[in-house]
Amino acid sequence: MTKINKLYHRLRAVMVVAVFFYCAPLCHAQIAELTFQDEQSQQCTTIVNALERDHFTGKRLDKHMSALVFDRYIKSLDPGRHLLTQADLSDFQPLKMLMYKYLKTGNLGPAFEIFNLYRSRSEQRLEYILELAKSWQTRIDFTKNDTLVIDYEHKPFIRDTSGLKPLWKKELKNHIINLKIDKTSDDEISETLEKIYTNRLSHLSQTQSRDVFQIFMNAVTMSFDPHSQYFAPRLSEDFDIHMKLSLEGIGAVLQNEYEYTKVVRLIPKGPADKSQKLAPGDKIIGVGQGRDGEIKDTIGQRIDDVVKLIRGPKDTFVRLKIIPARKSSVTDTISIKRDKVKLEEQSAQKKVVELTSNDRTYKLGIIDIPNFYIDFDAYHRGDPDYKSTTRDVTKLLGQLKKESIDGLIIDLRDNGGGSLKEANDLTGLFLKYGPTVQVKTKFRVSRLYDEDPKILYTGPLMVLINRMSASASEIFAGAIQDYHRGLIVGTRSFGKGTVQELKPLGDGRLKMTSAKFYRVSGESTQHKGVEPDIWFPRIYRTKDTGESALDGALLWDHIDATRYSEYMSLQPMIKPLDDAYKKRVEKSFGIKYLNQRIQLAESLSEQKSLSLNLSERLKTDTAFNKKELALENNYRKQKGEKPLASLEDIDPEKEEIKEILTDQAKYIAADFITLSHKIGYSWQ
């Protein structure tokens, strides 16, 4: 037996005693412990070797990484800090700095030891809540002025197990209050609680060794960066389906956050996007089938299981119970019709609008690009009519030229990226020639170039971006900004500046970050994203969305700039354009409405704790709804529309916020056209 294994077995003996001692007030007949398999041990060393050899960062598993792996593993198991205690963490402390040695030898014993304690404690919690729920009407005091901490990042672990049951009781109380706010009757509450916690207990009992391995290995991979992930054989198959979720489903990209399934972004023109009912940052806590099917609780479930519930045939409905990003605890139930994302809706679309400003009428061309697409099969076959973003935009620009537009707006809002080739080719339509992006691997820096000296459009250009503009969108916007080819307007983009490769690994697969994008100026698009020249109100909370919201995201940095020929700097125009925009929005009731909506949402989102006094919570919820309804009706009044009787009457199909900001963009474009002609800008 090696020295490290001897130490582990001594620690294990200590932990078993400690677990018995600390569980004493809670103990019952425990479920069987899970153990790792030999093939998992071998796969572990294979994953570790691949990460150390090929990951972009060049990180090595050492004591520092060992602590990161340990902390991430604990967080993935107990994100709400309501199962493990400070006493447990103290017992596991010797393992924290030695985890890297266990990983390199394939010893998964410590990981399974920690998981078995977590699983046992989870079972105790669920059984305690189920027992308490049988007589909640008499055993829970809803007039008591206690609170529940919901700021998980700063919430301390409970000192020892003596403090767990009071916490679990508070969590049940909060659950019941939410049901009461949803106007659920007492009998329905009892039935719902029984069903939910029984299902969670059943789900827990079905945990297998491969589930533990999957969770722990992802704690390892995501300690390198949040986009690196291991897919076990079963999940590898689900991954292929999950990547196609936008094709037949609701069109949403999801990730786990704490015990919830969080919406990261919506596929443009997909069912969820078009419904206007779901938004990035929303947390899914239940899924039901059909228009009135029973909502199944999804809190604490693996994301692949949640995806299976959401996925379904075209023209069927799925019901989602969500905690909206704009609220902290109040839930909504929405219904979305599943559908395929139609190719023609994903394609670039154009329109021409006329605007009177500065005592003249402007004709503006707007091209909306939902993503950067290409039919690779047709392209590789040599099909001269293959479909792509650049080819479609080329046709649209030809049509807009015939309409004699004064200026062009490229709308990349909510464009999550796509083909790197298309980002490069599209940029080339607006530049004479030169590099468009730099790609750095562990070993070298390469560049993509626009080698065609032909410029398809030489007039004033504006690019609209927002927090959901990512990856290829950021490459295009960054290049346009660095070359001074156009004005960037909106908010900071997503910040996804890394490249991932999917590698076969035994029966599973490893998605690993292998490179990083850099602008021609040398600045990374990673983490920070692209900053606009003129800022719009931030409708997405940066705390909840974007690369910087991901735990352990790689940071912004820079490399040497490459050689490129800039156009005349736009800097002399930016301040007068921004001043004119700010002066205009002072009189805009649309922007005022938008800012008030943002402030109202922020007031709830920043809450660190919740009152567990029922009357206080009902009062808070009612007050929020009144404020929101008053805000909506005040805006409608200013537009000359009839007031709403309730928030339920809001038309989900109206893209109110997008329209408000698009209107402002048109006026900025008009000012930009006037000023560029006055100064004599040329982009030939």
Residue-wise pLDDT tens digits, 471-501? 999 999 999 999 999 999 999 999 999 999 9
pLDDT in tens, 419-462: 999 999 999 999 999 999 999 999 999 999 999 889 999 999 99
Averaged over 340-359, what is the pLDDT? 84
Answer yes or no: is pLDDT of 27 > 60: no
Taking all residues of the chain, what is their mean pLDDT, rounded to a whole number?
A: 88
**pLDDT of 247:** 40
What is the residue whose two structure tokens read 């001897």? 6
The CATH homologous superfamily of the domain defined by 229-337 = PDZ domain (2.30.42.10)
Backbone angles phi, psi at 542, to 5 degrees: -65, -20
**Are 78 and 118 contacting, i.e. CB atoms less than 8 angstroms apart?**
yes
- The HSE-up count of residue 76 (CA atoms within 13 Å, CB side) is 28
Q: How far apart, in whole angstroms, are the C-alpha atoms of residue 674 and residue 356?
A: 12
Averaged over 506-511, what is the pLDDT? 86
Q: Per DSSP, which regions of 375-497 are E strands? A: 407-411, 434-440, 445-450, 461-465, 487-490
Answer yes or no: is pLDDT of 276 > 70: yes
Q: How far apart, in whole angstroms, are the C-alpha atoms of residue 181 and residue 387?
A: 50
- Determine the CATH number of domain 347-570: 3.90.226.10
User: What pTM does this model have?
Assistant: 0.87
Higher local confidence (pLDDT), 129 or 239: 129
Which tokens hold the place of 592?
């005022």
DSSP character string of 296-322: EE-TT--HHHHHHHH---TT-EEEEEE
Which 8-state DSSP code applies to residue 561?
Answer: P
The H or E element that residue 332 is part of is strand 332-337
Answer yes or no: is pLDDT of 18 > 70: no
Q: How far apart, in whole angstroms, are the C-alpha atoms of residue 571 and residue 533?
A: 9
Distance, CA of 413 to chain centre: 15
Answer yes or no: is pLDDT of 249 > 80: no
> In one letter, which amino acid is 161?
T
Averaged over 296-308, what is the pLDDT? 82
pLDDT in tens, 559-576: 999 999 999 999 999 999
First vs last C-alpha separation in the chain: 74
Of the listed ranges 64-68, 230-234, 479-483, the least confidently predicted one is 230-234
* Domain parsing of the chain, residue ranges: 3-224, 229-337, 347-570
**Are 480 and 486 contacting, i.e. CB atoms less than 8 angstroms apart?**
yes
Answer yes or no: is pLDDT of 626 > 50: yes
Residues in CB range of 624: below 8 A, 6 or more apart? 327, 330, 600, 604
Nearest to 142 by CA among 572, 611, 571, 489: 611
Answer yes or no: is pLDDT of 93 > 80: yes
Q: How far apart, in whole angstroms, are the C-alpha atoms of residue 228 and residue 68?
A: 15
Burial readout 587-622 (b: 16 or more C-beta within 10 A, e: otherwise): ebebbbbbebbbebbeebbeeeebbbbbebbeebbe
DSSP character string of 77-131: H-TTS-SSBHHHHHHHHHHHTTHHHHHHHT--HHHHHHHHHHHHHHHHHHHHHHH
**pLDDT of 258:** 62
Question: Could you give the residue numbers annotated as active site?
Answer: 471, 482, 496
